[in-house]
Amino acid sequence: MKLADKVLAVNNDLPIRTDAPVHSGKVRSVYWLTEKDSLRLIEQQGYDVAPGAPLAIMVISDRISAFDCIWHGEGGMHGVPGKGAALNAISNHWFRLFRENGLADSHILDIPHPLVWIVQKAQPVMIEAICRQYITGSMWRAYAKGEREFCGIQLPDNLKKDQKLPELLITPSTKGILTGLPGIPEADDVNITRRDIERNHTAFNFRSIDDIDLYENLLREGFDVISRELAALDQIFVDTKFEFGYVKDKAGIEKLIYMDEVGTPDSSRIWDGQSYRNGEVVENSKESFRQLLLNHFPDPDILLNKDRMTERQALARNNELPADVLLEVSRTYVSIAEKIIGRKLHLPDRPKAEIMDILSSRYNLIV
């Protein structure tokens, strides 16, 4: 079997029974189950959710995105071997630790396959919640140009690139386009302040002002859980993104939960500790792939300048990356996943066939 055949690149064409359009994102596809199947699974599997809660099958692919584009390689390699399984395994690990530490649940109800989650529908908080422990990336680029205020937080002068910040910073941005909010541009991914959230908490889908404190506590405590665990592996948790939503349990009690993925190389920066102490930054995250792309193409401004998006999309569409590049990314993802979970990562040989088999035999969801 060719390595490319083990890559799940297309994940929105599975014959899962649904009466709604498949939602396909950059990496995951979501199949909303019929009301009948949702009710049946809740009863059969004993999920702790409200009886009428909509359920979905969430299938992760091995596609890799960077700079808002999907990239592919030579030899029909339309993704990174093992990437999807690595992301799911890492998220599963952190979500479990969050529960064990009494923080909050996640949207995941069941894990039938390394590439599949059964999830419940949540009402999302419309915030991309970013935590930063070091100054790097976009924050450093802005700081180097003279900016000192980020999301209402004032930073001191004389910080150095990749330096640890005086304290953990929460720098939120909008999730999706919100309209009619004073002082907040109607665009996706706009930086906002805590004051913005307080003044518009219902527009961001918070149930109460008090839940803003809860969200920030879950951010900090979740970050601390991951940071401590990674430090024990001599890895540095640099920054990450969290997402939250509301669900109801079997008793009808509404609760704030973690959702999407968490603490992965796609949503976080993770640095090797020994290398950092030696004055070198070695990425165990997607940032290494971004840097590789910047070095690979002769005009990196195409990747950094949002005004050149048409050129960027053409670059991604028309260029096959060397197979070695995607295999190096694979090694990064699989290696950090195995460090975190403490065991060998199971990589499916026939991912699509395996998914259909288990969803048919165990859950009766294949048409």
User: Going from the N-terminus, what domains does the chain have, and what CATH number goes with each?
Assistant: 1-122+225-238+254-367 (3.30.200.20), 123-224+239-253 (3.30.470)
Distance CA 78, CA 162 (A): 33
Residue appearing with tokens 């060397």: 322
- Overall residue count recorded for the chain in this entry: 367
pLDDT at 99 over 80: yes
Distance CA 338, CA 92 (A): 13
To the nearest 10°, report the CA torsion of 90, 93, 94, 97.
Answer: -170
Continuous segment of H or E residues that includes residue 58: strand 55-60
Distance CA 81, CA 205 (A): 37
Q: What is the pLDDT of residues 308-361, one digit of tens each?
A: 999 999 999 999 999 999 999 999 999 999 999 999 999 999 999 999 999 999
Q: Enumerate residues 6+ apart whose C-beta is below 8 A from 139.
A: 132, 150, 171
Asked if 258 and 242 count as a contact pair (C-beta separation under 8 A), the reply is yes
Asked if 87 and 66 count as a contact pair (C-beta separation under 8 A), the reply is no
Q: What is the pLDDT of residues 237-255, one digit of tens each?
A: 999 999 999 999 999 999 9
- Give residue 51's pLDDT band: very low, low, confident or very high (50, 70, 90): confident
Mean confidence (pLDDT) of the chain: 95
pLDDT at 5 (0 to 100)? 79
Task: Output DSSP code: residue 366.
Answer: B
pLDDT at 1 (0 to 100)? 57
Residue 88 backbone phi and psi in degrees, to 5: -65, -45
Nearest to 58 by CA among 313, 322, 259, 227: 259
pLDDT at 50 (0 to 100)? 94
pLDDT at 298 over 80: yes
- Tokens representing 136 are 């790097």
Sign of CA dihedral 258, 262, 267, 271: positive
pLDDT at 306 (0 to 100)? 87
Per mean pLDDT, which range of 79-88, 105-114, 179-188 is the poorest?
179-188
Residues linked to residue 115 through DSSP beta bridges, in sequence order: none
pLDDT at 12 over 70: yes
- Give residue 165's pLDDT band: very low, low, confident or very high (50, 70, 90): very high
pLDDT at 128 over 90: yes
Share above pLDDT 70 across residues of the chain, in percent, rounded to a whole number: 100
Nearest to 113 by CA among 250, 218, 237, 14: 14
Q: What is the pLDDT of residues 261-280, one digit of tens each?
A: 999 999 999 999 999 999 99
Residue 357: CA count within 13 A, CB half-sphere: 7
Q: What b/e sequence results for 105-114 when a residue is b if at least 16 CB atoms lie within 10 Å of its CB, and e otherwise?
A: bbbbbbebbb
State the pairing for strand pair 69-73/320-321.
Answer: parallel
- Give residue 150's pLDDT band: very low, low, confident or very high (50, 70, 90): very high
